[in-house]
Amino acid sequence: MKPYPQLDNNALKNEFELVKSQYSTYADLHLSLDLTRGKPSSEQVNLSNSIMNCASDDGFIIDRIDVRNYGVLGGLPSIRALFADVLGVDASQIFIGGNASLQLMYDVISKAYTHGLLHSVQPWSKEKTIKFLCPCPGYDRHFNLSLSFGMELIPIDLTPEGPSIEQIEKHMSDPSVKGIWCVPKFSNPDGITYSKRTCEALASLQPAAPDFTIIWDNAYCIHSIYKDEPLPNMLSICQDYGCPDRVYMFMSTSKITYAGSGLALFATSENNLEYYKRLAAYQTIGYSKINEYMHLRFLKDKANLLAHMQKHAEILRPKFDAVLTALDKNISPLNIATWRRPNGGYFVSFYAMPHTASRIVELCRLVGLKLTPAGATYPYSNDPLDSNIRIAPSYPTLKEVEQAMDVLCICVRYAALEKMLESV
Amino acid sequence: MKPYPQLDNNALKNEFELVKSQYSTYADLHLSLDLTRGKPSSEQVNLSNSIMNCASDDGFIIDRIDVRNYGVLGGLPSIRALFADVLGVDASQIFIGGNASLQLMYDVISKAYTHGLLHSVQPWSKEKTIKFLCPCPGYDRHFNLSLSFGMELIPIDLTPEGPSIEQIEKHMSDPSVKGIWCVPKFSNPDGITYSKRTCEALASLQPAAPDFTIIWDNAYCIHSIYKDEPLPNMLSICQDYGCPDRVYMFMSTSKITYAGSGLALFATSENNLEYYKRLAAYQTIGYSKINEYMHLRFLKDKANLLAHMQKHAEILRPKFDAVLTALDKNISPLNIATWRRPNGGYFVSFYAMPHTASRIVELCRLVGLKLTPAGATYPYSNDPLDSNIRIAPSYPTLKEVEQAMDVLCICVRYAALEKMLESV
């Protein structure tokens, strides 16, 4: 196959007829395929089924605390110690709460609005405008959470080392810029891991807002598939750079044990934590210690947890292989798209020929393949190039992934040819 | 024993010497007793230990949903149906989320501040003043939650039928009065259950605030000890009275299964629920379905749940008997205090001679008996008569309750005599 840009008009037309006829065969198959969400497969959740058995009635006492009764805001000491070990922080910097890190992030933002953060002059609800920096492509739920509070979102380009510091710095003089959303490791969807230089630059920023906050959503902290990519410890970097209260580092076990029934947590400075816990004490006596107990018994320690993650990687790897192989084989020779090769995380970030992503998603939908809406990875769903498509191969079976990629590749070619012929 | 009010000065002095000498014997015992919180005992949480075993790997499919994976905001249909049955509402009116109803109440109030409730003109954070009605004595955590948002609290007397409607009506013309805290059944601490007349009067109110909201904390909805007291269905009353969106009815299984690791939920109108879920969708993909699954398998249905509650009652009854017996025997003849005889709930509400409650709590503390701080059951911790003491006998053993009541009774007499002699 020749690269499309080298084809003349006639050759493009012939290729388009060929692709259209291939596409039409899919319509007859009544497919029901889905590459939309970063959701673990049944095989993956099966890995954790013994979490239900390890919680037998053997006393229920952890750290001299009966886990079946009230109390202990912020997590049992033992489970805080386990995740402190995973994140390379101190157990005194960990807050464990709820079943989803998104909820904890929401809570921090919500408290910023109702009460203010530690260094806020006033609650954010009293400010006329709140702006947040959004490295993109990024996670749609972050952007939508911000929008639900009426924030103004500022897109920041994501480079292979992390968000563009140059672009960020331009906004530092604006006191209404209150923070930045970061997925610093195996980022959603690009699979990028922030470099040390980027982390240090983020800690070096001189924001006008005294309560400028980095929401460090470390969702994929131990979720390598091919190769680990070490991430600097942002909490200690912030400490070293004299802004110890600038970052909240989030993670959860949703993609470690059970999705949506895991443990969520954040690590932050002792001062932030003390402030947060003072507010949270009005909200709850404590989060489920039974869930902490089950996780502690099942995960045991960091080494065991990392071994468990290898089993996830083994299940995910063939699916990521299938995505990359299909793209390499079917799209690479055509010079019409690019994509990233992630070492971990849950996505392959695909960049179609500009101004064709929406059309590709639509073409796929018509033959039974659901994709994340084009643009979803950008603030206001506005991908200026209409190019990025987030491919999430974790949930379907390997066979379904292969089939879905066949469909996707044909649709990518279809939309490219359509666009090229349109502009002839 | 003669009633103290009938004793002359000399007799009072003699009695005081006697009581003081009895009191001093407790100091030597180095007691460590605690009647502070409404916390289930180990024996009670033991009742639910099989909740851990019923969650074996038998497929994990409920309502065709894999409970181990993401999704289903608001609760599995089957578990919503179970609690709809318990509360006498429709499953479509139920939202299940988190491990503590206090958290859900906080969330509703917090969303009122950040986004407004369904009928709010604007978010409460934009209002100059927010006031909340507080029937008292009441639950300290309600009052403190309100205070943490900067609300102004308005005390409302609690009558044996519920809060004084006459007092409430005086505030209805004030648009900054946004709601009322209610514990409508076996109220904390008085053990009062609201009458039908009170419920209807609450639904008949004509508040100036269009978003006036009844926070109906039905914490003890099936928690009878001696005898059930039927509570009218406030949601349907509000519907009948043309204010269907006025009430959120909360409950949790914290005092049914495991304290702090139960299921929390609320029932409200479909319109309220739709509004709330639209906001909550930014906050979380869903709450722990594993916890819902475990509860569904364990609780099974309403009949089984009510039978389970009888086991709690059997454990609690001797402790409540001990409290009431001690008061009847040691305090009743003296005419210096009154108390309520609850049919359920977690407390005995004790009214000491005016202006002696703080002193009693202090005297108890000095000999090793912890009581809830005097005044805690009132907004701003201000019991105008300094009389109410909340006795929580659930957590200690029966022997400890008996011992604690001996101490308490002596301290009640001590403080009364001290006060009477002071005014001689």
How far apart, in whole angstroms, are the C-alpha atoms of residue A20 and residue A24? Answer: 6
Write the residue in A102, A279, A291 that is nearest to B261 by C-beta. A291
Whether the per-residue pLDDT at B256 is higher than 70: the answer is: yes
Query: In this structure, is residue A261 part of a structural domain?
Result: yes
- Nearest residue in chain B measured CA to CA from A72: B260
- Which tokens hold the place of B342? 């609850």
CA B413 to chain A, closest CA, distance in angstroms equals: 33
- Which tokens hold the place of A70? 């009230």
CA A250 to chain B, closest CA, distance in angstroms equals: 14
- Which tokens hold the place of A256? 């470690």
Report how far apart the first and last C-alpha atoms of chain B are (Å, whole number): 21
Band of the pLDDT at B423, cuts 50, 70, 90? Answer: confident
Q: Which residues of A touch B148 (CB under 8 A)?
A: 115, 279, 282
- Nearest residue in chain B measured CA to CA from A111: B110
User: For residues A45-63, b (16+ Cβ closer than 10 Å) or e, as one string?
Assistant: bebbbebbebbeeeebebe
CA A226 to chain B, closest CA, distance in angstroms equals: 24
* Bigger pLDDT: A59 vs B7: B7
pLDDT at position A55 is: 64
- Work out the number of other CB atoms within 10 angstroms of the CB of residue B278: 11
Judge: B148–A42 Cβ closer than 8 Å, yes or no: no
- Nearest residue in chain A measured CA to CA from B261: A288
The answer to whether B274 and B9 are in contact (CB under 8 A) is no
Write the residue in B55, B102, B286 that is nearest to A284 by C-beta. B102
Q: Which residues contact A349 (CB under 8 A, 6 or more apart)?
A: A137, A189, A190, A191, A339, A340, A342, A377, A388, A389, A390, A391
Closest CA to B344 of B314, B302, B366: B314
Q: Which residues contact B19 (CB under 8 A, 6 or more apart)?
A: B410, B413, B414, B417
Query: In this structure, is residue B292 part of a structural domain?
Result: yes
- Work out the number of other CB atoms within 10 angstroms of the CB of residue B93: 20
Write the residue in A67, A113, A260 that is nearest to B288 by C-beta. A260
CA B410 to chain A, closest CA, distance in angstroms equals: 30
Average the pLDDT over B260-287 and give the result: 97
- Nearest residue in chain A measured CA to CA from B69: A259
Judge: A113–B113 Cβ closer than 8 Å, yes or no: yes
Kindly state whether residues A275 and A194 are assigned to the same domain: yes
Among B271, B300, B329, the domain boundary falls at B300
- Give me the total of CB pairs closer than 8 Å, taking one residue from chain A and one from chain B: 149
CA A369 to chain B, closest CA, distance in angstroms equals: 20
Kindly state whether residues A344 and A287 are assigned to the same domain: no
What CATH number does residue B12 fall under?
3.90.1150.10
Report how far apart the first and last C-alpha atoms of chain A are (Å, whole number): 21
pLDDT at position B56 is: 64
Query: In this structure, is residue A55 part of a structural domain?
Result: no
Mutate to test the interface with B, among A122, A276, A282 (most CBs of B within 10 A): A282
Kindly state whether residues B331 and B310 are assigned to the same domain: yes
Kindly state whether residues A322 and A289 are assigned to the same domain: no
Q: Considering chain A, what percentage of its residues have pLDDT values greater than 70? A: 99
Whether the per-residue pLDDT at A57 is higher than 60: the answer is: no
CA B130 to chain A, closest CA, distance in angstroms equals: 13
Q: Which residues of B touch A99 (CB under 8 A)?
A: 287-288, 291
Closest CA to A241 of A196, A185, A202: A202
Judge: A69–B39 Cβ closer than 8 Å, yes or no: yes
* Contact with chain A for residue B100, Cβ under 8 A: yes
- Work out the number of other CB atoms within 10 angstroms of the CB of residue B214: 23
Average the pLDDT over A275-300 and give the result: 97
Query: In this structure, is residue B74 part of a structural domain?
Result: yes
Kindly state whether residues B333 and B357 are assigned to the same domain: yes
How far apart, in whole angstroms, are the C-alpha atoms of residue A345 and residue B399? Answer: 57
What CATH number does residue A288 fall under?
3.40.640.10
* Contact with chain B for residue A347, Cβ under 8 A: no
The answer to whether A286 and A73 are in contact (CB under 8 A) is yes
Closest CA to A260 of A137, A103, A122: A103
Write the residue in B56, B115, B260 that is nearest to A289 by C-beta. B260
Write the residue in A53, A103, A286 that is nearest to B260 by C-beta. A286
CA A387 to chain B, closest CA, distance in angstroms equals: 25
CA A245 to chain B, closest CA, distance in angstroms equals: 22
Whether the per-residue pLDDT at B181 is higher than 60: the answer is: yes
Q: Which residues contact A143 (CB under 8 A, 6 or more apart)?
A: A134, A153, A181, A378, A379, A380
CA A192 to chain B, closest CA, distance in angstroms equals: 24
Helices B101-114 and A101-114: angle between axes, nearest 10 degrees = 50
Kindly state whether residues B123 and B217 are assigned to the same domain: yes
Among B300, B320, B353, the domain boundary falls at B300
Band of the pLDDT at A124, cuts 50, 70, 90? Answer: very high
Looking at residue B373, what DSSP letter applies? P
> Of chain A residues 44-83, which have a CB less than 8 A from chain B?
45, 48-49, 52-53, 55-57, 60, 66-71
Band of the pLDDT at B424, cuts 50, 70, 90? Answer: low
Q: Which residues of A touch B280 (CB under 8 A)?
A: none
Q: What is the pTM of this model?
A: 0.97
Mutate to test the interface with B, among A48, A73, A283 (most CBs of B within 10 A): A283
In tens, the pLDDT along B10-29 reads: 999 999 999 999 999 998 89
pLDDT at position B124 is: 98
The answer to whether A112 and A121 are in contact (CB under 8 A) is no
* Contact with chain B for residue A126, Cβ under 8 A: yes
The rounded mean pLDDT for chain A is 97
Kindly state whether residues B321 and B244 are assigned to the same domain: no
Q: Which residues of B touch A49 (CB under 8 A)?
A: 57, 60
Band of the pLDDT at B55, cuts 50, 70, 90? Answer: low
Write the residue in B45, B55, B113 that is nearest to A52 by C-beta. B55
Residue that is written with structure tokens 């045991």 in the block: A300
Show the domain range for B92: 62-300
Judge: B260–A113 Cβ closer than 8 Å, yes or no: no
- Which tokens hold the place of B15? 């009695």
pLDDT at position B58 is: 67
Q: How many CA atoms lie within 13 A of B103 on its CB side?
A: 27
* Contact with chain A for residue B290, Cβ under 8 A: yes
Looking at residue B134, what DSSP letter applies? E
The answer to whether A386 and A28 are in contact (CB under 8 A) is no
Kindly state whether residues B174 and B282 are assigned to the same domain: yes
Element (H, E) at B303: helix B302-330
The answer to whether A222 and A308 are in contact (CB under 8 A) is no
Band of the pLDDT at A1, cuts 50, 70, 90? Answer: confident
Judge: B37–A70 Cβ closer than 8 Å, yes or no: yes
How far apart, in whole angstroms, are the C-alpha atoms of residue B244 and residue B268? Answer: 8
Q: What are phi and psi of A350, to 5 degrees?
A: -115, 130
Looking at the DSSP assignment, which residues form a beta bridge with residue A369? A33
Query: In this structure, is residue B51 part of a structural domain?
Result: no
pLDDT at position B52 is: 87
- Nearest residue in chain B measured CA to CA from A294: B52
Kindly state whether residues A376 and A312 are assigned to the same domain: yes
- Distances in Å between the Cα of B198 and the Cα atoms of A120, A285, B121, B169 are 44, 30, 28, 12
Whether the per-residue pLDDT at B279 is higher than 60: the answer is: yes
- Which tokens hold the place of B200? 């209807």
Kindly state whether residues B232 and B360 are assigned to the same domain: no
In tens, the pLDDT along A135-192 reads: 999 999 999 999 999 999 999 999 999 999 999 999 999 999 999 999 999 999 999 9
Band of the pLDDT at B339, cuts 50, 70, 90? Answer: very high
> Of chain B residues 257-286, which have a CB less than 8 A from chain A?
258-261, 279, 282-286
Q: What is the 3-state secondary structure (H, E, C) of chain A?
A: CCCHHHCCHHHHHHHHHHHHHHHHHHHCCCCCEECCCCCCCHHHHHCCHHHCCCCCCCCCEECCEECCCCCCCCCCHHHHHHHHHHHCCCHHHEEECCCCHHHHHHHHHHHHHHCCCCCCCCCHHHCCCCEEEEEECCCHHHHHHHHHCCCEEEEEEEECCEECHHHHHCCCCCCCEEEEEECCCCCCCCCCCCCHHHHHHHHHCCCCCCCCEEEEECCCCCCECCCCCCCCCHHHHHHHCCCCCCEEEEEECCCCCCCCCCCEEEECCHHHHHHHHHHHCCCCCCCCHHHHHHHHHHHCCHHHHHHHHHHHHHHHHHHHHHHHHHHHHHCHHHCCCEECCCCECCCEEEECCCCCHHHHHHHHHHCCEECCCCCCCCHHHCCCCCCEEEECCCCCCHHHHHHHHHHHHHHHHHHHHHHHHHCC
| Bridge pairing between strands A33-34 and A369-370 | parallel
Among B300, B319, B348, the domain boundary falls at B300
- Work out the number of other CB atoms within 10 angstroms of the CB of residue A129: 13
Judge: A42–B103 Cβ closer than 8 Å, yes or no: no
CA B158 to chain A, closest CA, distance in angstroms equals: 24
Average the pLDDT over B380-408 and give the result: 97
- Nearest residue in chain B measured CA to CA from A261: B288
Judge: A261–B67 Cβ closer than 8 Å, yes or no: yes
Q: Which residues of A touch B37 (CB under 8 A)?
A: 70
Query: In this structure, is residue B49 part of a structural domain?
Result: no
Helix, strand or coil, per DSSP, at residue B340: coil
How far apart, in whole angstroms, are the C-alpha atoms of residue B284 and residue B18? Answer: 62
Judge: B279–A148 Cβ closer than 8 Å, yes or no: yes
- Nearest residue in chain B measured CA to CA from A281: B145
DSSP H stretches of helix in B335-397: 357-366
Query: In this structure, is residue A51 part of a structural domain?
Result: no
Number of domains in chain A: 2
In tens, the pLDDT along A206-263 reads: 999 999 999 999 999 999 999 999 999 999 999 999 999 999 999 999 999 999 999 9
How far apart, in whole angstroms, are the C-alpha atoms of residue A361 and residue A377? Answer: 14
How far apart, in whole angstroms, are the C-alpha atoms of residue A212 and residue A216? Answer: 13
Q: Which residues of B touch A254 (CB under 8 A)?
A: 70
Q: Which residues of A touch B287 (CB under 8 A)?
A: 99-100, 260
Q: Which residues contact A7 (CB under 8 A, 6 or more apart)?
A: A15
Band of the pLDDT at A423, cuts 50, 70, 90? Answer: confident
Kindly state whether residues A123 and A200 are assigned to the same domain: yes
Closest CA to A156 of A142, A148, A146, A167: A167
Kindly state whether residues B296 and B310 are assigned to the same domain: no
| Bridge pairing between strands A348-351 and A338-339 | antiparallel
A99: buried, middle or exposed (CB in 10 Å: 19+, 13-18, 0-12)?
A: buried
Query: In this structure, is residue B139 part of a structural domain?
Result: yes
How far apart, in whole angstroms, are the C-alpha atoms of residue B179 and residue B153? Answer: 10
pLDDT at position B57 is: 56
In tens, the pLDDT along B211-242 reads: 999 999 999 999 999 999 999 999 999 999 99
